[in-house]
Amino acid sequence: MYLGLDLGTSGVKAMLMDGEQRIIGSASGALDVDRPHPGWSEQDPADWIRAAEEAIARLRETHAQALAAVRGIGLSGQMHGATLLDEGDAVLRPCILWNDTRSFREAAALDGDPQFRALTGNIVFPGFTAPKLAWVRENEPEIFARVRWVLLPKDYLRLWLTGEHMSEMSDSAGTSWLDTGKRKWSASLLAATHLEERQMPDLVEGTDAAGTLRPELAARWGMGPGVVVAGGAGDNAASACGMGTVGEGQAFVSLGTSGVLFAAKNASYLPNPESAVHAFCHALPNTWHQMGVILSATDALNWHSGVTGRSAAELTSELGESLKAPGSVTFLPYLSGERTPHNDATIRGVFAGLGHESSRAVLTQAVLEGVSFAIRDSLEALRAAGTKLKRVTAIGGGSRSRYWLSSIATALNLPVDLPADGDFGAAFGAARLGLIAATGADPAAVCTAPETAETIAPEASLVPAYEDAYQRYRRLYPAIKEAAL
């Protein structure tokens, strides 16, 4: 058996998989996000351990025998979080999360140093880790002075699991400290934020062994000795491993809290930071990937749900099954700023074109379309970076809405594949990495794609109307940007 642990923003998911890659069971522990000030987003790392313990305890209640047979554990996690530890591994402050935008000034300053884009292949986004440390140095100098280790969220779980300070390439590529082409820490980039390589974890590939489970945890969970913990992956690369998106031309769109358009690149590192596309290491050796990221996908629908007092399912059911032509209302989903293509931490969302006739359903339709158009922005950015896609596979909670998938297919003018029944997300990808690390199996043979259950084609008759609505959507950003200045 193999265990995948996925540390998300809203919870920790634990998934058991057998040697034939059949899912045996899964369980979760919930997490909350603290927002003490506008633009801030934090979590207490102690809550990650509590949620992981809860998830594994629930698994043990129903699958104790399978848990006892675990030989490898893989880790996946939300990227970019700054988890700061002192000399004794004590947490110095709450972790600053991926969707925290307080360090936008520090990010702009670092991005003005040409070596960052040259070495990392990426814009220095406010959500990345390096500007967060620059913010801590400026605003909490007494904490910065005590920093002995900077760990990403999943790697803090690894420290708890194994006692090792280690990370891997895919997650570390989102820090702005990694030489992404050479797959190693950059001493000069670290020095630019007054840090040293000794404060970084050791680096391995996501398929490598990166410690063994501590005996006291193995005993508590009923596992045997010598359980290998894999390097693992950042959440999107782990999802790609779960989906089999590891070869040239393969791509997925993820509708989670954030939205991602992810394209694998076999042995080709093709950065184009000017397009605001992320160029990161993949979790598999000598493999990279590109992705466009929007900060609010299902988060936008959940916000609309909170405002209207209706569940997301109720809201989308009001639209029916058949895709409608875009109306006069346009929604920009920039509730916490935006990454691709704008790299703008301060911009905020807007409804435009409201009238007396704008019902709740009309607003819901606009929210779904706004996210679809934001993903289209990522597609255009990927094209500018030299990536051509012929189809995408949909994953994430938002992919349960057929209306939304039809909207995305039509906005992208690409077919959207739905995988056969099963959970092929980050926890499954992490379990696959645990299997590879424990057995030495061929990564390409393990990380295969699921069968396609159904393909949702673009609504050909609505493609022109969607194109017109997308161009209207594109014109709104500069208008609201100027109004906000």
Around Cβ 61, how many Cβ atoms within 10 Å?
11
CA pair distance 366, 301, nearest whole angstrom:
10
In sequence order, what are the residues at sequence separation of 6 or more whose Cβ sits closer than 8 angstroms to the Cβ of residue 150?
A: 82, 83, 84, 85, 129, 133, 195, 199, 200
CA dihedral for 425, 426, 429, 430, sign (positive or negative): negative
* E-state strands within 276-332: 278-281, 287-294, 330-332
Catalytic one of 155, 235, 344, 377: 235
Q: Is 235 considered catalytic here?
A: yes
First to last CA, the chain: 56
| Pair 462, 325: CB distance under 8 Å | yes
Task: Report which residue type is found at 391.
Answer: R
Structure tokens given for 111: 């991005």
Strand-pair category, 233-234 with 72-77: parallel
Q: CB–CB of 304/393 below 8 Å?
A: no
| Burial zone of 58 (CB within 10 Å; 0-12 exposed, 13-18 middle, 19+ buried) | middle
d(CA 370, CA 351): 10
Based on its alpha-carbon atoms, the radius of gyration of the chain, rounded to whole angstroms, reads 21
Dist CA 250 CA 236 (whole Å): 14
Residue type, position 239, single letter: S
Which of these, 434, 395, 388, 396, lies nearest to 414 by C-alpha position? 388
Instruction: Give the span between the Cα atoms of 295 and 255, in whole angstroms.
Output: 11
Q: Which residues are catalytic?
A: 235
